[in-house]
Amino acid sequence: MKPQKGLFIVLILALFAWPLEQSFFPYFIKLIIDALTGLDSLKTPLNEIPIFKDLGGILLLGVAFFITTEIIYRSSDFLRAYLLPPFMARIRTYLINYVGQQSFTYFSNNFPGAIANKINDLPRAAHELFEKIFTSFIPGILNGLIAIALLLTLSPLLSVIMLIWVISHLWISWVASKKASLYAKDQSEALSTLSGKIVDVLNNIFTVRLFNGFQHEKKYLWKYQTDAVQKHTKTLIFSAQLKTVLGVLSLLEYGFMISVSLYGWKMGWLSLGDVAFILTILQNIMQSTWWVSYEFPHLFEQVGISLQAYDLLTQKITIEDKKHAPPLVITGGEIVFDNVTFHHTSNSSELPVLFNNLSIILKGGEKVGVVGFSGSGKTTFVNLILRQFDPQQGRILIDGQDIKTISLESLWNSISVIPQDTNLFHRTLYENIHYGNLKAHRDQVIIAAEKAYVSELVSRLPQGYETIVGDRGGNLSGGERQRIAIARSILKDAPLLILDEATSALDSETERKIQDSLLTAMKGRTSLVIAHRLSTLYHMDRILVFQQGRIVESGTHQELLLRNGHYKYLFSLQNNGFLQEIQGVEL
Ligand SMILES: Nc1ncnc2c1ncn2[C@@H]1O[C@H](COP(=O)(O)OP(=O)(O)O)[C@@H](O)[C@H]1O
Ligand SMILES: [Mg+2]
């Protein structure tokens, strides 16, 4: 027998162990009382008491039975302790793997915190459901059925009455719990809105203090408090009403069962032992029925949580590898946009078209600059090359291979990107740079760090490379984070290089220092450089000027200036600011 099968059998046996124990216990009481009935306890010698004479075997069997059920029951506890945590981890891992493949759009439409909550919710709810079903529902219901069957052997009438009561109790609770779960949902939504508001106040606590807004905030939060209180009260009152109805029904049931069994004894259909049996089993069925019905609201709640998590987590993955997608093979590094039409989508509504039939060729090894106002589509252009989005029409080719047909892993391996916004892991500075190439040795990491002038920052930190950078790199300035991102990309050393306003947060002096490293990095590889300061563009072979998703001009810096168009306009705007310092040097 496979061990898995063995474990499974123990779990199934455990389902029966408790109900059998619960239902047979009253039966043993009956046997004992019947055996003792009519005996004078003081005068009867021990070996004449029938319980020892005739029932010895049954009693022994009983003891063996109780010990066995106990052992099975406890082993199932241990089994659950070993099985459930890895099971939950497996669900979590599956979810993390699945969500990890989701597109950029998915992550911009869903808060990471909400996704993480759901990744935790689903295994927890699965655990709860498993526990409830295997330790409450099935045993509770089995217990009721076995007990009613035993009762049937004594009095079919009582057994039918009991069954009717159990069914009506469960039915009323089930229907009411469905309604209660709606109230509970309202209540938990009110609570989560409230807690969102509290977080918002805490996030802005600096502003609240500076503007003496605390009284205002208290009043503002009170509205949400009141709402939560009302909904909570409503939930509790509904539950109290339900329990009142069920309580009255139970009292009637008790009264009826007790009266009938006493009457039966009086009339001689029932022995004293029978009466004891009926009364104990009555109590037992009552308890387990109440117990099962108490779990209904939790059951609905957990199912609700699971369904919500399931919905978010199983959203279709929109950008994924074709089956057996071959890797990208870089020969010269040519990037081609072939009649690309693209618009963003936000929460499944379509935004206006950004690129309309855009065609452009970036030659292998060419250094291409991109300029344009913010919002003109520069970052989206990069994201299309990285296949963070798929164009609605047209193709993007790298060295003749449609990027939709090659594996995403090989695509991302071939491109170093320094993104516009750098988020860092809440890990050490070293780990953050090392991420560029996890196979790199320490020396290589440090050389990359030096090229990006991170070493200068490191020397100022007491813990050097081992400094934790803080949540999302929050302990560092924007420029420092950017230098780490640059170091990381230099370390990656991929055949294609994309800089998206890579030096925008640096001061001019640091920028000039890093410029050399970046120019070296660009040598011999196709480079796409989105410039925040036009100073970066002097070294480009060609500059593309973006305006609302269109490439309105292209040429070298000098050519574009002569053309007197949009570039000249952008340049004149910057002339008053960033570019002045460069002008003296370069022009
Ligand atoms: N993920 C997104 N979802 C919806 N709209 C977006 C998204 N990213 C960018 N946009 C919109 O697309 C346009 C171009 O943005 P972007 O490519 O970031 O411009 P740039 O980098 O030139 O500043 C802007 O109007 C922006 O609001
Ligand atoms: Mg941008």
Which tokens in the block code for residue 483? 């230098």
Ligand 1 geometric centre to CA of 393 (Å):
18
Pocket test for ligand 1, best of 107, 340, 349, 379 (most atoms within 8 A of CB): 379
Pick the more confident residue, 431 or 104.
431
What is the residue with the minimal CA distance to atom 18 of ligand 1? 379
Please compute the mean of the pLDDT values over residues 414-418 and round it to a whole number: 94
Q: Whose CA is nearest to atom 20 of ligand 1?
A: 375
Higher per-residue pLDDT: 411 or 345 = 411
How does pLDDT run across 329-361, given as a tens digit for each residue? Answer: 999 999 999 999 999 987 778 888 999 999 999
Q: Quick one: residue 387, left, alpha or beta (phi over 0 = left, psi -120 to 50 = alpha)?
A: left
Q: Which ligand is nearest to the CA of 370?
A: 1
CA–centroid distance, residue 544 to ligand 1 (Å): 18
Q: Which atom of ligand 1 is nearest to the CA of 377?
A: 17
Ligand 1 atom with minimal separation from the 380 CA = 17
Ligand with minimal distance to 500 CA: 2
Contact status, residue 540 vs residue 529, Cβ threshold 8 Å: yes
CA gap 115, 312 in Å, rounded: 8
Mean of the pLDDT values across residues 398-425? 92
Ligand 1: centre distance to CA 403 (Å) = 21
Residue linked to tokens 């040429």: 555
Question: Above 70 in pLDDT, residue 585?
Answer: no
Give the atom of ligand 1 at the shortest distance from the alpha carbon of 500.
21
Nearest CA to ligand 1 atom 7: 344
Confidence of residue 513 (pLDDT cuts 50, 70, 90): confident
The atom number, within ligand 1, closest to the CA of 381 reads: 17
Using a 6 Å CB cutoff, which residues line ligand 1?
A: 108, 344, 346, 351, 354, 372, 374-380
The band of 380, judged by pLDDT with boundaries at 50, 70 and 90, is very high
Average pLDDT of every residue of the chain = 87
Q: How far is the CA of 421 from the centre of ligand 1 (A)?
A: 13
Distance 105 CA to ligand 1 centre (A): 12
pLDDT at 419 over 50: yes
Q: Which atom of ligand 1 is nearest to the CA of 374?
A: 23
User: Do 232 and 187 meet the contact criterion of CB atoms below 8 Å apart?
Assistant: yes
Q: What does the pLDDT average to over 512-540?
A: 86
Nearest to 351 by CA among 115, 548, 536, 559: 548
Q: For position 382, what pLDDT does the model report?
A: 95
CATH number for the region 423-493 comes to 3.40.50.300
Residue 474: predicted pLDDT: 67
Question: What is the rounded average pLDDT of the residues 424-449?
Answer: 93
CA dihedral 398, 404, 405, 406 (to 10 degrees): 60
Determine the residue of 346, 350, 354, 380 to mutate for testing ligand 1's pocket, defined as the one with the most ligand atoms within 8 A of the Cβ atom: 380
- The Cβ of residue 78 has, within 10 Å, a number of other Cβ atoms equal to 10
Q: What is the pLDDT of residue 580?
A: 40
Q: What is the mean pLDDT of residues 161-169?
A: 93
Residue 53 pLDDT class (50, 70, 90 cuts): low
**First-to-final CA distance of the chain:** 84
Confidence of residue 2 (pLDDT cuts 50, 70, 90): low
- Residue whose Cα lies nearest atom 25 of ligand 1: it is 375
Q: What is the pLDDT of residue 90?
A: 92
Domain range summary for the chain, segments of one domain joined by + = 3-313, 423-493
3-313: CATH topology: ABC transporter transmembrane region fold (1.20.1560)
- Rounded CA-CA distance 413/433 in Å is 16
Ligand 1 atom nearest to CA at 104: 1
Query: Which atom in ligand 1 lies closest to the alpha carbon of residue 383?
Result: 17
- The answer to whether 378 and 370 are in contact (CB under 8 A) is yes
Least confident of 56-65, 278-287, 389-398, 524-533: 56-65
Q: Which residues contact 462 (CB under 8 A, 6 or more apart)?
A: none
Among the bound ligands, the one closest to the CA of 371: 1
Q: Is the pLDDT of residue 378 over 60?
A: yes
Distance 379 CA to ligand 2 centre (A): 4
pLDDT at residue number 584: 36
Please name the residue whose Cα sits nearest to atom 26 of ligand 1: 375
Please tell me the distance between residue 144's alpha carbon and the centre of ligand 2 in angstroms.
Answer: 66
pLDDT in tens, 241-277: 999 999 999 999 999 999 999 999 999 989 999 999 9
Nearest CA to ligand 1 atom 11: 375
pLDDT tens per residue, range 61-120: 778 888 888 888 888 888 888 888 998 999 999 999 999 889 888 887 777 777 888 888
Whole-angstrom Cα distance, residue 433 to residue 317?
29
Distance 498 CA to ligand 2 centre (A): 12
* Whole-number Å distance between alpha carbons of 487 and 489: 5
Query: Which of ligand 1's atoms lies nearest the C-alpha of 108?
Result: 1
